[in-house]
Structure 1
Amino acid sequence: MNDGSRMVWRVEGMDCASCVAKVTTALGHVPGIANIEVNLMAERLSATVPPVSVAEVERQVRGLGYTITALPATGAAPSHAHGDHDDDPADLEKPWWNTGKARLVWLLGALVGGAYALSLLLPERFTYPLFLAATLVAVIPFGRRAVALARAGSPFSIETLMVTAALGATIIGAAEEAAIVVLLFALGELLENVAAGRARAGIRALASLIPRVALRLRGDGSTEEVAPERLAVDDLVLVRPGDRVPCDGLIVEGNSSLDESPVTGESIPVARGPGDAVVAGSINTDGALRLRVTRAAADNTIARIIRMVEDATASRAPTQRFIERFSRWWTPGAMVVSLAVILLTPFLFGWDWSTSLYRGLAVLLIACPCALVISVPAAMASGLSAGARRGLLVKGGAALEAIGAARTVAFDKTGTLTEGRPRVTDVIAVPGRTADEVISLAAGVEQGSAHPLAKAILVEAGTRGLALPPARDASAIPGKAVVAMLGERRVEVGSPRHAAERGVALGDLASTLERLEGEGKTVSVALIDGALLGLIALRDEPRPDAAAGIAALRAQGVNAVMLTGDNARTGAAIAASLSMSVKAELLPDDKLREIAALKAAGPVVMVGDGINDAPALAAASVGVAMGGGTDVALETADAAVLKDRVTGVSELVGLSRATMTNVKQNVAVAVGLKAVFLVTTLFGITGLWPAILADTGATVLVTLNALRLLAWKPPSA
């Protein structure tokens, strides 16, 4: 039983998935530690640790060559420039070419280059010690790390392979090649460092969207400059034309157009006025706005995006998990093959022992899995960062991989395919009642509800200047109706299906209901004390880009279906205008059954706005929240399209497929180069330094290929 507390550390120096595996394996041997989580992009380690083991955790991590700093358990790690394994924290703010890893590469390069230059003028006995010195300069830190990893449970590490091969080469008199081997290995580590720094820089760029200063309004109407971090919920903030919005908030005064492209990727400025929500990081283009802060800085949209992207990179895709499992067998297997080459080839092929030892060491270097291990996470991190820059948030590699494989995308209707801003078009009261009475009572029941239809009824009541009766004992019948007591009267507002189940006959209004639904309108039936009160018809128009979004999915070979709780006639009318199939009159449980049926034919993506969609989002292969959705949608969904555009879903599919294509290219390069050099090494065509170049070169190629994804743009852009 673990009685420890949750601890959080910042770990600097991790630059690939292999680093994460090393830290995790090492800490697995610490007594009492549990729930170990290592986040590469956030450079964060968290674990449940007994007080007596805290020092041992930090000793183990430092022994691996990383810098570790304790953080408050509830705090997030701040973003810094990427450092290296063996440098002090001051290196973390330096450019990559001035870090400890870079200085090691420059030193080795100078030693090797100087030795080669002198070898043209001096006898070998004078230049050989220089090659030997270059080898030992690098082998000492790498060897120290290899020993620490072996003690921590990772005897077959990349460092072990490299150190063994380099020392073996010096023993057989090939110090020149050994020096080049360690130089190329150090260069490969530096390149991984730079790649990780580039990926982290993409995340840090999001944080730069928050301005350094906010104008907080005082009680007397004057303003004071404060850091956005000091803004509290309900503070009033002035945002002038041209300013960046420093917080998430609601407009209390003013009208303007806001450029939300830095956050959502939506290129067209959107009009905002009193009562509308605005997000931190957007740009006010026109008039002055007064905002009421709705979220603290640590929980605003930008902060949440950064946390989601950082956490997403810690979630491994199935392909990445396979590569990591494969690499664990690859390294010890390669050492066995290398040993076989050394011991068996003299007897099988008549090689002399010097040749078999040399080629066996080369095989050992070819076995370094650096390029293979980094091939998948590098592409995934770039894909996730590229998506975040365009308002496409994906919570992990598994979701990113699954989206592109989807056979079907299921859409909720209201607020997803439609604008989510329905308006009341018709109010029909039963004889003896008035339209105002129907709206007033219905609005009384709906007050406090966040559903778009409820909001439309409340807006209609406000337009008519109606007073709302106080409600009590309000409750909802999922997918059917809302109910409340208004005074001593029980009022229900729900679907025609709910009225039928209550045994309420529509009488002369039945034909009116059929006509309204045939016009593509949603009709709510109002009941009072179990008797018919009237009908309220509402219409919610499809989003302007909905048809284009569905067509884009169809062009990608993905089927689209609408799942709605609305009546069949309304659902069919909207689906027909979008050229898609529809399943209507679905309760939440019915949606789950439809999702299960669709999943039987292949992966399914469910897209919703989060209102009543959380169960279906969770049940699908991948759940996508539209327009940022509600908080529950962002918690439940695997991805989010921050801009209110249906085309964003096809962009997610395109991003996923581009990322997986990049992954396949990387794996092919990493494995292909090794296969070529394995053959040339065994035939004596290439030697030690080309063997390590096979891995370093592959690391360079897969890193550059992965970084290409940072510039990914959807075809429509």
Structure 2
Amino acid sequence: MSKAQGKELDNNKTVYRVQGFTCANCAAKFEDNVKKLPGVKDAKVNFGASKITVVGETSIEELEKAGAFENLKVIPENNRRVEEKVPFWKKRENINVIVSSLLLALSYMFAWTYGEDSLFAIIGFAASILIGGYSLFLKGLKNLVRFQFDMNTLMTVAIIGAAIIGEWSEGAIVVILFAISEALERYSMDKARQSIRSLMDIAPKEALIRRNGQEMMVPVDDIEVGDIMIVKPGQKLAMDGVIVKGTSALNQAAITGESVPVTKTVDDEVFAGTLNEEGLLEVRVTKRVEDTTIAKIIHLVEEAQAERAPSQAFVDRFAKYYTPAIMGAAVLLAIVPPLVTGGDWYEWLYRGLTLLVVGCPCALVISTPLSIVTAIGNAAKNGVLIKGGIHLEQAGDLSVIAFDKTGTLTRGVPEVTDFIVFGGKGEQELTAVAAAIEYGSQHPLASAILRYAENKNIDFVSYQVEDFQSITGKGVKALVNGKLYYIGSSKLFEELENVAVSQEMKQQILALQNEGKTVMVLGTDQEALAFIAVADEVRETSKSVIQKLHEIGIQKTVMLTGDNKGTALAIGKQLGVSEIQAELLPQDKLEFIKLLRDQYGKVAMVGDGVNDAPALAAATVGVAMGGAGTDTALETADIALMADDLSKLPYTIKLSRKALQIIKQNISFALGLKALALIFIVLGLLNLWLAILADMGATVLVTLNSMRLIRVKE
């Protein structure tokens, strides 16, 4: 496909929200039906987020026809119509179960009074079966005609078979227990989706806007970039923007997971969905409603839920062959023993029907997606964006974590710690010279020198700077008030012919580097005049995070930096990392990550998502810092820590490991129970209603086990 064709396909893509999904199988069937609609080129259902993406031309009416088997309702993604909340017991399918259960109870009364074969009892059981299993039979019979074997087909054949051999009461019990099992599955998926729905409700739907000198309440869809939004104390921000007036403490927990409010003032970036706790703020809107950080988070989380994890892909492949295999095994179990050994036809037919019931793959199908949806939703509420089930699983299996130093383990804001002067000139004059030169520099350390001069109220603007020139990888030079000065690494001065860097000076530089400081030398082409030592402050949480990672079983932590070895060793030892790699260029970081993958398998790279993009992409799991503030971090990483907070990393690994553990438990339990039930059926120790009770029990236990992921905290 050409790029032009790909772009055309993208332009013809529409996303709809779907109401009424009951199970993963139904979602897959809806997807197949939509793909067959005229004008539709492709379709993909996101069961976790209850959405469908359609490529091509179709109408909502056609889509709802494709979902008529499940009475699905389809609305455009951007339609803000609120889904009608119907109490659980008032839903039509649940009312049918209640009526069916009452009829079953009445029928048992008739059976005890007149006998189980009495006309009253049979009519009562039959009515209970029809009312409770009406929608099940519609789907099951249609599938049977088309030779599509899913759980509805299995249950339909089993219940009709039970009625044919006269097991009316057991058929009715199977219908009711299956309906209850499906209701529990729907309830559990709805509960798991609540985390996303709660995100959608975070930001207000309208805001107070000042436009053309007038203040008015405006729906968020009509707010334009550049509008001034007025936010009073106690109100939530409706849009992303930059503060133009006022100072206040903002609770950003909804976006970043930070529990402590953050003070924001003029020129600071603020996000939709955050709570203004104190002052009156005026905010210039910088993004449309669909581009806000919260909108991006919701979109990425929903997309993440659609991405299938390896375990889910296994379950999907397995279920595709499993259900027809169960159907075939049931037929063989029903007819082979009577034909070969002369066994009783009724008894073996009953066992075959029991196998159909116990073979229903409900627990297996829901085991993985429910765990993934729950875990990703929990992470999003705690300020961690996991962009897919595959990344969730891989994060739980990491053995090595590599960290970029600047801006990740350290704050990324360097400060001047020492200004050591040689010769006759004073510190104030040399500070002014250094600041005047660095005023034209783009180097990160230049900002530290400028702040140092400003804090000491030194006038450097009046100094005349000419012929500014950068010396790549070494420093800069310029004429200041007509005199040539150099500022850069000690290597730069060692290369100048007329400058002598004494052994004492070298030892002093080494001593400062061993304290974790970067040393710049200021001088002329004749002599070194001063040392300027700069340090990047280590984050308060970095040491405890490294310690926690080792405690939870991470084999190795590695610090990667472009800094000199002395500085890197000092900071690395302070933090307690296992290995330190210094003086690395971006391509060196990339090569080292590849080397770690070859040696250890699963490797994570933690960085700021900008200059670390190649290394983040090469790692098994790329983790970006500060996703709330940078689009690059959201786009390049597999996992984004929304706050600039490394302490979320051990929580993420803990959550991932718990999710992996629960997924494995669910799959093992679902398959193990089926195998055990199969043995009992062959031995004749399991009847129809016990089989469905076992299957329902498996679904309930798998659901409850998955919901434990909601409770995983930092």
Please classify the TM superposition score into its range, dividing by the shorter chain length. Answer: 0.7 to 0.9
Maintained 8 Å contact 2:466/2:479: yes
421 and 688 in structure 1: CA distance in 2 versus 1, 3 angstrom threshold: same
Structure 1 residue 326, shift from structure 2 partner: 1.0
DSSP-derived class of the 1:250 partner: strand
Give the distance between the partners of 1:364 and 1:117, measured in 2 at CA: 29
Matching of residue 281 in structure 1 with residue 286 in structure 2:
no
Structure 1 residue 137, shift from structure 2 partner: 3.2
Q: Which range is displaced more, 505-514 or 705-714?
A: 505-514
2:547 to 543, 551, 556: 551
Matches of residues 150-229 of structure 1 in structure 2 within 5 Å?
155-217=148-210, 223-229=215-221
Maintained 8 Å contact 2:391/2:621: yes
Give the distance between the partners of 1:669 and 1:406, measured in 2 at CA: 25
DSSP-derived class of the 1:541 partner: strand
2:357 to 354, 365, 370: 365
Structure 1 residue 625, shift from structure 2 partner: 1.1
Structure 1 residue 233, shift from structure 2 partner: 2.7
2:52 to 45, 48, 54: 45
Maintained 8 Å contact 1:27/1:60: no
AA at the equivalent of 2:710: L
Match of residue 565 from structure 1 = 562
384 and 332 in structure 1: CA distance in 2 versus 1, 3 angstrom threshold: same
Structure 1 residue 277, shift from structure 2 partner: 2.5
Maintained 8 Å contact 1:438/1:533: no
Match of residue 293 from structure 1 = 285
Maintained 8 Å contact 2:44/2:54: yes
AA at the equivalent of 1:94: V
Structure 1 residue 486, shift from structure 2 partner: 12
Q: Which range is displaced more, 701-710 or 368-377?
A: 701-710
Match of residue 575 from structure 2 = 578
DSSP-derived class of the 2:573 partner: helix
Match of residue 61 from structure 1 = 66
Match of residue 594 from structure 2 = 596
Give the distance between the partners of 2:707 and 2:406, measured in 1 at CA: 38
Structure 1 residue 347, shift from structure 2 partner: 4.1
TM-score, normalising length from structure 1? 0.86
CA displacement, residues 50-97 of structure 1 (integer Å, 9 cap, x when unaligned): x4x6689627622442425363xxx5465855xxxxxxxxxx432332
CA displacement, residues 80-133 of structure 1 (integer Å, 9 cap, x when unaligned): 55xxxxxxxxxx432332223222322322322332233333442112012112
Match of residue 6 from structure 1 = 13
DSSP-derived class of the 1:290 partner: strand
Maintained 8 Å contact 2:431/2:453: no
Structure 1 residue 442, shift from structure 2 partner: 2.6
Give the distance between the partners of 2:478 and 2:222, measured in 1 at CA: 43
Aligned length: 688
55 and 235 in structure 1: CA distance in 2 versus 1, 3 angstrom threshold: closer
DSSP-derived class of the 1:241 partner: coil
CA displacement, residues 519-564 of structure 1 (integer Å, 9 cap, x when unaligned): 31235689999x9999764321111111110110000110211111
Maintained 8 Å contact 1:504/1:532: no
Structure 1 residue 686, shift from structure 2 partner: 2.0
Gaps of 5+ in 2: none
Match of residue 86 from structure 1 = none
Percent of counterpart pairs with the same letter? Answer: 38
Structure 1 residue 298, shift from structure 2 partner: 2.0
AA at the equivalent of 1:605: A
AA at the equivalent of 1:582: I
DSSP-derived class of the 2:70 partner: coil
Match of residue 683 from structure 2 = 683
Larger Rg: 2
AA at the equivalent of 1:206: L
AA at the equivalent of 2:294: I
476 and 307 in structure 1: CA distance in 2 versus 1, 3 angstrom threshold: farther
Maintained 8 Å contact 1:228/1:246: yes
Structure 1 residue 501, shift from structure 2 partner: 13
604 and 483 in structure 1: CA distance in 2 versus 1, 3 angstrom threshold: farther
Match of residue 129 from structure 2 = 135
CA displacement, residues 602-650 of structure 1 (integer Å, 9 cap, x when unaligned): 2011111123011111111011111226211110101111233222111
CA displacement, residues 659-699 of structure 1 (integer Å, 9 cap, x when unaligned): 11221222233223323322222222221122122222211
Give the distance between the partners of 2:414 and 2:350, measured in 1 at CA: 76
Match of residue 88 from structure 1 = none
Match of residue 701 from structure 2 = 701
CA displacement, residues 361-388 of structure 1 (integer Å, 9 cap, x when unaligned): 1101111111101011111111111111
Maintained 8 Å contact 2:468/2:479: no
AA at the equivalent of 2:597: K
AA at the equivalent of 1:188: S
Maintained 8 Å contact 1:115/1:131: yes
Give the distance between the partners of 1:606 and 1:619, measured in 2 at CA: 8
DSSP-derived class of the 2:604 partner: strand
Maintained 8 Å contact 2:128/2:172: yes
Gaps of 5+ in 1: 82-91
2:87 to 95, 101, 115: 95
TM-score, normalising length from structure 2? 0.86
Q: Which range is displaced more, 254-263 or 537-546?
A: 254-263
Structure 1 residue 149, shift from structure 2 partner: 4.9
Structure 1 residue 193, shift from structure 2 partner: 1.3
Maintained 8 Å contact 2:241/2:286: yes
AA at the equivalent of 2:51: R
Match of residue 84 from structure 1 = none
1:435 to 431, 450, 453: 431
Give the distance between the partners of 1:473 and 1:69, measured in 2 at CA: 64
Maintained 8 Å contact 2:617/2:637: yes
Structure 1 residue 12, shift from structure 2 partner: 2.1
2:333 to 308, 331, 341: 341
273 and 343 in structure 1: CA distance in 2 versus 1, 3 angstrom threshold: same
CA displacement, residues 430-462 of structure 1 (integer Å, 9 cap, x when unaligned): 99994334333433232xx9x6x5654665576
Matches of residues 371-410 of structure 1 in structure 2 within 5 Å?
371-410=363-402
DSSP-derived class of the 1:198 partner: helix
Structure 1 residue 586, shift from structure 2 partner: 1.0
Matches of residues 632-711 of structure 1 in structure 2 within 5 Å?
632-711=632-711
RMSD over aligned CA atoms reads: 3.8
Structure 1 residue 507, shift from structure 2 partner: 5.2
Match of residue 247 from structure 1 = 239
CA displacement, residues 125-151 of structure 1 (integer Å, 9 cap, x when unaligned): 112012112223344422332355568
Q: Which range is displaced more, 248-257 or 181-190?
A: 248-257
Structure 1 residue 492, shift from structure 2 partner: 13
1:17 to 17, 24, 32: 24
